[in-house]
Amino acid sequence: MRLLVTGAKGMLGHRVAAQARERDHEVYVTDLPDLDLTDAQAVFDHVGDLQPNAVIHCAAYTDVDGAEADEPLALRVNMEAAANVTAAAGLNGAFVVALSTDYVFAGDGDRPYVESDAPHPRGAYGRTKLLGEQAVLDVGTDCAIARTAWLFGAGGKNFVDTMLSLGDQHDEVKVVSDQIGSPTWTGFLAPAVVEIAERRLTGIHHLAGAGQCSWSELAVETFRLAGAECSVAPVSTAEFPRPAPRPAWSVLGAERDDAILLPPWQDHVRTYLEERNAS
């Protein structure tokens, strides 16, 4: 398969590209400043030159608080760029996998969100990602939306690394306990995303670590597996106000018959730390 990966310098994008190469695909990558995905003509020219069989669109505006402050910019990146990539891919018969997020949901659930649940984002980031999903689907190109949650991995700022750094500096850290989600390691997510492209599995997919935990429980597990002598003091979201609202419930589940199921979230943490220690 001839594959184009956007956002290839990012935490997920570089892992997707590496995974695709391991599976013997012909991989092409792009990211800023090489290509501005909000420039429709540039995108059409680039995709037309490459003639890929599939595009995995990882590029996104992911600064949740930044999106709250500048929603028009987040909209250009998360919606307009996604539409450009999908339309250009469609002209060349390429299948598109566009990455999305748990933030498209309101966060007020009490069971895992599945693919058919109605989105209702509470903040600018979620709104722009949902509009991006809709733009991708509206183009009419064969495509998939891959939603994930609580992502961590090498090559980008993430919660697990932050906890390990704080654990080296402090005997105790305060961590939010009233936000619940599905931690997901890029090392398990990337193969699933590539498989969707290989099999051209259209529609919406939920890809996240199985099970659920709070941020404080994730911190506890991280310290336990790392052997760090740092305790975790659970606190409420209200004690750590942020510019953008965070979903209280970000647990993703799958209802598709062909769902690609990822391992329990604890395995994501353990395997990431093993890789981290070996590097």
Strand arrangement of the beta sheet that strand 249-250 belongs to = 213-214, 180-181, 249-250
Q: What tokens appear for 9 in the block?
A: 């310098």
| CA gap 90, 80 in Å, rounded | 15
Q: How far apart are CA 270 and CA 257, in angstroms?
A: 28
- Could you list the active site residues? 125
CA distances from 83 to 22, 44, 77, 279 (A): 29, 11, 10, 37
**Nearest-10 Cα torsion for 28, 88, 57, 36:** 80
- Main-chain phi, psi angles of 255, to 5 degrees: -120, -5
Output phi, psi for 29, to 5 deg: -130, 155
The Cα 187–Cα 274 span in angstroms is: 12
264: left (phi over 0), alpha (psi -120 to 50) or beta: beta
Task: Kindly report the number of other CB atoms within 10 A of residue 140's CB atom.
Answer: 9
Can you tell me whether residue 210 is helix, strand or coil? Answer: strand
